[in-house]
């Protein structure tokens, strides 16, 4: 088990941890300010030391990744066995780690609530925001123990510890956290402060946010206990009173030495009580493995549990009366298998009531979400584009590149389309030679890929995933703003439907995003035809709908970017478009639905007249076929380096724009002709080939 060193200081008499920007000095408090803590914890500090070492560098298009501070290509990491799922799960602390660490910190000491900072958090990004963890009913503050190291690379992490015997009322806990937030905001007013709360801590975070609407806080709430009044928790009060006598006969020392399953003992103790099944369900969520029960008996003895239930009741009532005052950006994480609270229903309710609220569901998870090995809080934050170091999220400077494991999971979650379409990738070398594979794609950025956009954006997954897997280059797609923001409670898919795209670096399309990506030397994907191409009508497949403006050429020339034209075909081999926009608008209810959906998302090209202007948002009728194959052809790059002054001229830039467009059309024509001679165009022939040669073998294609 990794060391769990931490810095502690009292929160009630809180000597403010002023986070000076570059200080590394640890100042000890007087011995009588804090009780003696176990040796794994540094006793006290005036503030948490902050470093400026960069743990994760912004992506610049160079095909390298970082894992645990070591650089290497994705293939090298996999070869050394550093990118396998088993290691990732072993890296995360589980319930067992939590219980072992709790033995040290949960011993009664008579002290007040206090903050500690886990020493294993390590170095972090420059100008990292502060993250305050607010614990659940256990109060220990170790609920993020399996996340400390990864969180510590991007946040300044502090955790609230509420001692077992502490009886601080809820409103006083709110004041403690609020005082800390106000003090830290005064020191660094331009940075957000993250409040991560689980269960009771979720109520605490919401209450603080209601008190300080003028301060920039970001709330991440795991199964918040605002639904206490509708939960089974309330059933525990009479049960605890009934069980108080029998349980006192079995102190933790006896339970720990007793063979077998302590839950069986629980069944025997409560047999005959009407709440027997409820009691077992509740304690099963506490006891993922049987050995945890003695430790939990230490941190939640009967008297403490009774107090915590009263605290939950008052917290829920207090917060529910103040939800209207909360303006903070909020992400709610709710479990589908929470036996203690109706968390998914509560998540939906809070999303409707809070103005800046998003929801993520974890169907197979229980109440203690952060202690499950399958949940990675940093990955959740990345997927929701929730990490920022300033007042507003910057999709370029605030972007945290996916780890190899995160990228692998994102790609595998969309692997179905790769499997059934078996994409063929062709690229053009510097001498003009066309060959299979992606060797012709430039390694050094900035690089701007421009091409045709398939129906429903079916080309996105194969394109980005294959470039990442074969060349280890992360392509940042310029995407419609609907992937990032929309009207709450509308008709469009939930925000979580686009989490994989955000994790892999999608950026809202627009001049600002393109400028920042080019300046960071990224590999960028741009579809000039946008949604008009992706939602084209019947008979319009492989037709370009590019606007007249050639601004992306002039901007690329400003940074000397290479422009790589490409064509992609195959949508007509996987389905037939049978019901398009023209068909839908003839049906009044469908026309009304399209209009409502279009109003939910930000509008683009409002200055463009005609069909190339703002595209209506709808979902066409697409009838699937026996799958054919996708084909991608990357043409020879157009160099803009050294042509900055020349391409400032709009006419010269437009000439190059037309050349690029013509090259994309040539790539499309080439693929449409050549695929006719592909003996493995059908999924049936490809399946037969792989059955003979192995299912991991690369399927041949036409002769180049």
What gap in Å lies between CA 416 and CA 197, rounded to an integer? 36
Mode of pairing for the β-strands spanning 217-222 and 193-198:
parallel
Higher pLDDT, 39 or 303: 303
Q: Please, what is the average pLDDT of the chain? A: 80
Run of H or E including 316: helix 302-320
Look at residue 291 in the predicted model and tell me its pLDDT.
52
Task: Tell me the per-residue pLDDT of 639-679, one tens digit each, with 9 for 90 and over.
Answer: 999 999 999 999 999 999 999 999 999 999 999 999 999 99
Look at residue 610 in the predicted model and tell me its pLDDT.
61
| Pairs from 261-270 (Cβ < 8 Å, separation ≥ 24) | 261/290, 262/287, 262/290, 262/293, 262/294, 263/287, 263/290, 263/293, 269/243, 270/239, 270/242, 270/243
Look at residue 103 in the predicted model and tell me its pLDDT.
77
Look at residue 122 in the predicted model and tell me its pLDDT.
61
Distances (CA, A) of 682 to 67, 578, 626, 701: 39, 21, 8, 11
Task: Tell me the per-residue pLDDT of 207-247, one tens digit each, with 9 for 90 and over.
Answer: 999 999 999 999 999 999 999 988 877 766 666 666 554 34
Residue 172: Cβ within 10 Å count: 12
Phi/psi at 473 (5° precision): -110, 125
- Which of 65-69, 144-148, 480-484 comes out lowest in average pLDDT? 65-69
Task: Tell me the per-residue pLDDT of 520-557, one tens digit each, with 9 for 90 and over.
Answer: 999 999 999 988 899 999 999 999 999 888 889 999 99
pLDDT confidence tier of residue 69, bands split at 50, 70 and 90: very low
Omega before residue 158 within 30° of 0, cis? no
- Which of 1-15, 349-363, 364-378 comes out lowest in average pLDDT? 1-15
pLDDT confidence tier of residue 488, bands split at 50, 70 and 90: low
For tokens 């020879």, what's the residue? Answer: 636
Mean pLDDT of 380-405: 94
Would the CATH topology of 69-230+310-383 be identical to that of 404-575+625-676?
A: no
Task: Please state the domain extents for the chain.
Answer: 69-230+310-383, 404-575+625-676
pLDDT confidence tier of residue 73, bands split at 50, 70 and 90: very low
Which range among 32-41, 168-177, 581-590 has the greatest average pLDDT? 168-177
For tokens 């609907």, what's the residue? Answer: 482
Mean pLDDT of 563-571: 97
3-state secondary structure of 488: coil
The CATH code of the domain at 404-575+625-676 is 3.40.1130
Architecture per CATH, 69-230+310-383: 3-Layer(aba) Sandwich (3.40)
Higher pLDDT, 14 or 378: 378
Task: Tell me the per-residue pLDDT of 431-457, one tens digit each, with 9 for 90 and over.
Answer: 999 999 999 999 998 999 999 999 989
Higher pLDDT, 141 or 549: 141
- Return the half-sphere exposure (C-beta side, CA atoms, 13 A cut-off) of residue 402: 30
Reference 486, options 615, 601, 348, 594; nearest CA is 601
pTM for this structure?
A: 0.82
Look at residue 484 in the predicted model and tell me its pLDDT.
85
């Amino acid at each position: 088990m990794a060391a769990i060193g931490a810095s502690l200081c009292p929160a009630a008499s809180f000597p403010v941890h002023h986070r000076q920007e570059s200080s590394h000095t640890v100042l000890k408090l007087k011995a009588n300010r804090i009780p003696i803590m176990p040796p794994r914890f540094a006793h006290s500090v005036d503030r948490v030391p902050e470093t400026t070492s960069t743990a994760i560098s912004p992506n610049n298009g160079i095909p390298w990744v970082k894992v645990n501070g070591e650089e290497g290509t994705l293939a090298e990491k996999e070869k050394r066995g550093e990118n396998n799922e088993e290691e990732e799960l072993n890296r995360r602390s589980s319930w067992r780690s939590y219980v072992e660490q709790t033995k040290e910190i949960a011993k009664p000491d008579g002290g007040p609530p206090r903050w500690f900072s886990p020493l294993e958090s390590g170095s972090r990004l420059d100008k990292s925001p502060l993250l305050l963890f607010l614990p659940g009913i256990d109060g220990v503050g170790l609920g993020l123990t399996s996340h400390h190291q990864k969180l510590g690379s991007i946040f300044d992490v502090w955790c609230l510890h509420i001692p077992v015997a502490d009886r601080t009322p809820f409103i006083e806990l709110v004041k403690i956290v609020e005082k800390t937030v106000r003090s830290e905001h005064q020191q660094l007013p331009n940075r957000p402060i993250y409040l991560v709360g689980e269960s009771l801590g979720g109520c605490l975070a919401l209450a603080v946010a209601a008190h300080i609407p003028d301060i920039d806080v970001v709330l991440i709430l795991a199964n918040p206990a605002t639904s206490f009044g509708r939960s089974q928790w309330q059933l525990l009060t009479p049960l605890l009173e009934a069980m108080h006598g029998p349980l006192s006969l079995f102190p933790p020392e006896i339970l720990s030495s007793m063979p077998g399953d302590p839950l069986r003992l629980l069944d025997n103790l409560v047999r005959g009580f009407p709440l027997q099944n409820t009691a077992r369900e509740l304690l099963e969520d506490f006891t993922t493995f049987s050995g945890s029960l003695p430790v939990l008996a230490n941190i939640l003895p009967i008297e403490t549990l009774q107090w915590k239930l009263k605290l939950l009741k008052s917290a829920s009532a207090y917060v529910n009366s103040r939800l209207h005052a909360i303006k903070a950006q909020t992400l709610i994480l709710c479990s589908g298998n929470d036996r203690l609270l109706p968390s998914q229903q509560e998540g939906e309710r809070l999303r409707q009531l809070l103005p800046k609220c998003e929801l993520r569901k974890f169907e197979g998870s229980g109440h203690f979400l952060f202690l499950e090995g399958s949940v990675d809080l940093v990955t959740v934050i990345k997927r929701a584009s929730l990490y920022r170091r300033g007042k507003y999220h910057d999709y370029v400077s605030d972007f945290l590149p996916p780890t190899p494991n995160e990228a692998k999971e994102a790609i595998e979650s969309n692997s179905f389309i790769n499997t059934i379409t078996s994409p063929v990738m062709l690229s053009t070398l510097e001498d003009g030679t066309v060959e299979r594979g992606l060797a012709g794609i430039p390694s050094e950025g900035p690089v701007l890929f421009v091409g045709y956009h398939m129906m429903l954006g079916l080309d996105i997954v194969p394109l980005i995933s294959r470039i990442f897997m074969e060349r280890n280059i992360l392509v940042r797609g310029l995407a419609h703003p609907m992937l990032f923001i929309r009207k709450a409670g509308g008709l469009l898919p939930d925000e979580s439907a686009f989490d994989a795209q955000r994790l892999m670096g999608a950026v809202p399309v627009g001049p600002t995003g393109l400028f920042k990506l080019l300046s960071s030397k990224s590999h960028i994907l741009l579809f000039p035809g946008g949604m008009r191409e992706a939602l084209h009508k019947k008979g319009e497949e492989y037709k370009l709908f590019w606007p007249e403006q050639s601004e992306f050429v002039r901007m690329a020339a400003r940074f000397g970017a290479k422009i790589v034209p490409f064509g992609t075909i195959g949508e007509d081999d996987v389905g037939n478009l049978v019901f398009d926009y023209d068909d839908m608008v003839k049906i009044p209810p469908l026309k009304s639905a399209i209009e409502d959906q279009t109003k939910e998302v930000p509008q683009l090209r409002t200055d463009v007249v005609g069909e190339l202007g703002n595209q209506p948002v709808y979902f066409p009728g697409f009838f699937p076929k026996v799958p054919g194959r996708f084909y991608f052809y990357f043409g020879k790059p157009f160099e803009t380096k050294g042509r900055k002054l020349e391409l400032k001229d709009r006419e010269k830039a437009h000439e190059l724009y037309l050349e690029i467009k013509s090259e994309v059309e040539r790539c499309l024509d080439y693929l449409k002709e050549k695929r006719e001679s592909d003996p493995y165009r059908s999924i049936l022939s490809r399946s037969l080939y792989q059955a003979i040669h192995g299912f991991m073998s690369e399927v041949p294609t036409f002769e180049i």
